[in-house]
Amino acid sequence: MDMLKRAIASDLFWSFKRSPVAVISALVAITLILAAVFAPLLAPYNPFDPASLNLMNGFSKPMEPNAFTGESFVLGTDDQGRDVLSTILYGMRISLFVGALAVLFAMVIGVVLGLVAAYAGGRTDAIIMRIADVQLTFPSILVAMLIFGIAKGFTPIHLRDQMAIWVLIISIGLSDWVQFARVVRGAALVEKSKEYVEAAILIGRGPVAIIFKHILPNVLSPVLVIATISLALAIISEATLSFLGVGAPPTQPSLGTLIRIGQGYLFSGEWWILFFPAVTLLLLALSVNLLGDWLRDALNPKLDD
């Protein structure tokens, strides 16, 4: 209760209330995230269970009974007879799961390497940051594809479907750590020369304790901002990889896979297979991105008007 009161009284919440964009995007994002989390309860069908599919339901139009089976689906069905609504709900889970874990992964690597680089300085700093620079010269989607391709070669075929999601997480995470490292290093360099760090050194605390106990909490707010924006980017990266056919397996479609499938049926007028997943992806990425933008503005006093 106390926490909640403090949160409501905080500057951040005050600025949140004043920004209609932030409120709306938060509402949209939370709705979508909840829908994804509770997909098994909300979805009328389980699209990941191939045994429950009836191919004859394929290409049903939204809200119209299927010509062969007479069944009716709110958002129609795709080419395999999967209910589009259920598939979107389940697909969103994959998109969010991959996005969140990939960002977490990137954040852990980026923050640790950034802190180490800043604190150690000298050669360690140079090596870590040059690696980061080199990686920045490649588009991150290319890096993700490269890692995905290599990892796929190592996974045994029968595990590939299950592993695909984890490989996605690692490849997106590894392609994304650089910005965390750079920002954290910049912030940590400033903190490093402050008196409280010198005081901590004086009383004999070890470098690990200083980095994580003293410096880390003070560089967290930019990390938070980047993490939110990265989440939107990671969701889009995942969708892009799946769209290109190198991401989530077709039997466990994510939003990107659904868009890829739907794209093949645009000429023939089966627009719903592409349209609904695309709109969902748009709403999800946009709302998270707008939230990130707002967070950046709210946490950065220099941008205040």
Partner 1 sequence: MMYDNFALDCFVILYLTFNRFESLAAKGYLLKKYRFQGVSGFSALGSPKQSQDRTKINSWFNRVFNTGGQILFKKISLTASAALLVSTSFVAAETLNWARAGDSLTMDPHAQNEGPTHTLAHQIYEPLLLRDNTGAVEAALATEWGPSADNPNIWEFKLREGVTYHDGAEFDSEDVVFSITRAMSEHSNMKELLSSVKEVRATGKYSVEIETNGPNPIMASNLTNLFMMDKGWAEANDAVAVQDIEGGEETFASRNTNGTGPYKLVSRAADSLTELEAFDGYWGKGEFPLEITKINYTPIKNPATRVAALLSGEVDFIQDVPVQDLARVDGDENLQVITAPQNRVIFFGLNQGDADLKTDDVEGKNPFADLRVRQAMNMAINREAIQKIVMRDQSIPAGVAMPPFVNGWTEALDTLPSSDLDAAKALMADAGYGDGFSVTLHCPNDRYINDEPICQAAVGMFAQIGITVNLDAKPKAQHFPQIANSETDFYMLGWGVPTFDSAYIFNFLVHTRSDERGSWNGTRYSNAEVDEMIVSLESETDLDVRDATVAKIWAQVQEDVLYLPIHHQVLNWGTSNKIDTVVSPEDQPKFKYFTLK
Verify binding: residue 154, partner 1, rule CB under 8 A: no
Q: Retrieve residue 181's tokens.
A: 């490292």
Three-class SS of residue 72?
Answer: strand
Verify binding: residue 270, partner 1, rule CB under 8 A: yes
Verify binding: residue 249, partner 1, rule CB under 8 A: yes
Q: Phi first, then psi: what are they for 65, rounded to 5°?
A: -65, 140
Spatial distance between the Cα atoms of 290 and 26, rounded to a whole number of angstroms? 9
Q: Work out how close the CB of 40 gets to partner 1 at its nearest, in angstroms, rounded to a whole number.
A: 18
Please choose, out of 84-92, 101-109, 225-233, 261-269, the segment that lies near partner 1 by the rule CB under 8 A: 261-269
Which of residues 231 and 278 has its CB atom nearest to partner 1 in the complex?
278
Verify binding: residue 158, partner 1, rule CB under 8 A: yes
Spatial distance between the Cα atoms of 302 and 275, rounded to a whole number of angstroms? 40
Angle at the Cα of 279 from the Cα atoms of 277 and 281, rounded to 5 degrees: 70
Verify binding: residue 65, partner 1, rule CB under 8 A: no
- Residue corresponding to tokens 């604190």: 119
Spatial distance between the Cα atoms of 8 and 14, rounded to a whole number of angstroms? 7
Please choose, out of 3-11, 49-57, 100-108, 115-123, the segment that lies near partner 1 by the rule CB under 8 A: 49-57
Question: Residues in contact with partner 1, total (CB under 8 A)?
Answer: 33
Please choose, out of 36-44, 128-136, 228-236, 266-274, the segment that lies near partner 1 by the rule CB under 8 A: 266-274
Closest CA to 250 of 160, 182, 185: 160
Verify binding: residue 70, partner 1, rule CB under 8 A: no
Helix (H) or strand (E) holding 161: helix 160-174
Instruction: Kindly list the residues in this chain that would bind partner 1 in the complex (CB under 8 A).
Output: 49-51, 53-56, 58-59, 68, 79-81, 157-158, 160-161, 244-246, 249-251, 263-271, 274
